[in-house]
Chain A
Amino acid sequence: MHVVDLEQQSVRDLNAALHRLTPDTNETLWQVTNSGGKHAIGAGVDAPIDIVIKGNVGYYCAGMNKQASITIHGNAGQGVAENMMSGRVHVMGDASQSAGATGRGGLLIVEGDAAARCGISMKGIDIIVKGSIGAMSAFMAQAGNLVVLGDAGEALGDSIYEATVFVRGKVKSLGADCIEKPMSADDKTRLSGILAGAGVETVSPEDFRMYASARRLYNFHIDNLSSY
Chain B
Amino acid sequence: MSSAKPIRTEPRFSATFDRYTISEIQRAAATGIYDIRGGGAKRRVPHFDDLLFLGASVSRYPLEGYREKCGTDVVLGSRFAKRPIHLKTPVTIAGMSFGALSAPAKEALGRGATAVGTSTTTGDGGMTNEEREHSSILVYQLLPSRYGMNPDDLRRADAIEIVVGQGAKPGGGGMLLGQKISERVAEMRTLPAGIDQRSASRHPDWTGPDDLEIKIEEIREITDWQKPIYVKVGASRPYYDTALAVKSGADVVVIDGMQGGTAATQEVFIENVGIPTLAAIRPAVEALQELGMHRKVQLIVSGGIRNGADVAKALALGADAVAIGTAALIAMGDNSPALESEYQKLGSTAGAYDDWHEGLDPAGITTQDPELAKRLDPAVAGRRLANYLSVLTLEAQTIARACGKSHIHNLEPEDLVALTVEAAAITRVPLVGTSWIPGRD
Q: Which residues of A come within 8 Å of B, CB atoms? A: 11-12, 15-16, 19, 39-40, 43-44, 46, 58-60, 63-64, 66, 78-79, 82-83, 85, 97-98, 101-102, 104, 117, 120-121, 123-124, 139-140, 142-143, 159, 161-162, 217-220, 222, 225, 228
Evaluate whether A78 and B190 lie within 8 angstroms (CB atoms) in the complex, with A12-B221, A59-B218, A64-B151 already known. Answer: no
List 13 contacting pairs A-B, 8 Å CB cutoff, sorted by A. A40-B218, A44-B223, A59-B218, A60-B215, A60-B218, A63-B222, A83-B150, A83-B151, A85-B150, A98-B205, A104-B150, A161-B195, A222-B32
Could you give, for residues 181-193 of chain B, a 1 whenever the CB lies within 8 Å of some chain A CB and a 0 otherwise?
0000000011110
Contact, CB under 8 Å: A220 / B151? no
Contact, CB under 8 Å: A121 / B151? no
Q: Which B residues from 130 to 185 make CB contacts under 8 A with A?
A: 145-146, 149-151, 154, 177-178
Contact, CB under 8 Å: B149 / A83? yes
Chain B interface mostly: loop
Contact, CB under 8 Å: A218 / B196? yes
Contact, CB under 8 Å: A79 / B146? no
User: Which of B31, B33, B218, B224 is close to A63, meaning CB atoms less than 8 Å apart?
Assistant: B218
Q: Which residues of B come within 8 Å of A, CB atoms? A: 31-33, 145-146, 149-151, 154, 177-178, 189-192, 195-196, 198, 200, 204-206, 211, 214-215, 217-218, 221-225
Residues in A whose Cβ lies below 8 Å from that of B200: 121, 139-140
Residues in A whose Cβ lies below 8 Å from that of B215: 59-60
Minimum CB–CB distance from A203 to chain B (whole Å) comes to 28
CA distance A222 to B190 in the complex (A): 26
Contact, CB under 8 Å: A222 / B223? no
Residues in A whose Cβ lies below 8 Å from that of B32: 222, 225
Residues in B whose Cβ lies below 8 Å from that of A16: 224
Residues in A whose Cβ lies below 8 Å from that of B145: 121
Contact, CB under 8 Å: A85 / B151? yes
Question: How many cross-chain pairs have Cβ atoms below 8 Å apart between A and B?
Answer: 111
Residues in B whose Cβ lies below 8 Å from that of A124: 190
Evaluate whether A218 and B192 lie within 8 angstroms (CB atoms) in the complex, with A19-B224, A59-B211, A66-B151 already known. Answer: yes
Residues in B whose Cβ lies below 8 Å from that of A123: 146, 190
Residues in A whose Cβ lies below 8 Å from that of B205: 60, 78-79, 82, 97-98, 101-102, 120
Residues in B whose Cβ lies below 8 Å from that of A104: 149-150, 190
Residues in B whose Cβ lies below 8 Å from that of A63: 218, 221-222
Q: Which residue of B has the minimal Cβ distance to A105?
A: B150
9 other contacts beyond A83-B151, A104-B190, with CB at 8 A cut-off? A12-B225, A16-B224, A60-B205, A64-B151, A79-B205, A82-B218, A117-B204, A123-B190, A222-B32
Evaluate whether A78 and B211 lie within 8 angstroms (CB atoms) in the complex, with A161-B191, A222-B33 already known. Answer: yes
Contact, CB under 8 Å: B217 / A40? yes
**Which among B33, B190, B214 has the highest number of chain A CB atoms within 10 Å?**
B190
Residues in B whose Cβ lies below 8 Å from that of A140: 198, 200
A-B interface, 9 closest residue pairs, ranked by CB to CB distance from nearest: A44-B222, A79-B205, A218-B195, A60-B218, A102-B146, A98-B205, A64-B151, A40-B218, A120-B204
Contact, CB under 8 Å: B206 / A79? yes
CA distance A85 to B150 in the complex (A): 7
Contact, CB under 8 Å: A78 / B204? no
Residues in B whose Cβ lies below 8 Å from that of A15: 221-222, 224
CA distance A114 to B145 in the complex (A): 21
Q: Which residue of A has the minimal Cβ distance to B146?
A: A102
Q: Which residue of B has the minimal Cβ distance to A162?
A: B192
Minimum CB–CB distance from B293 to chain A (whole Å) comes to 23
Q: Which residue of B has the minimal Cβ distance to A82?
A: B205
Contact, CB under 8 Å: B211 / A220? no
Contact, CB under 8 Å: B204 / A58? no
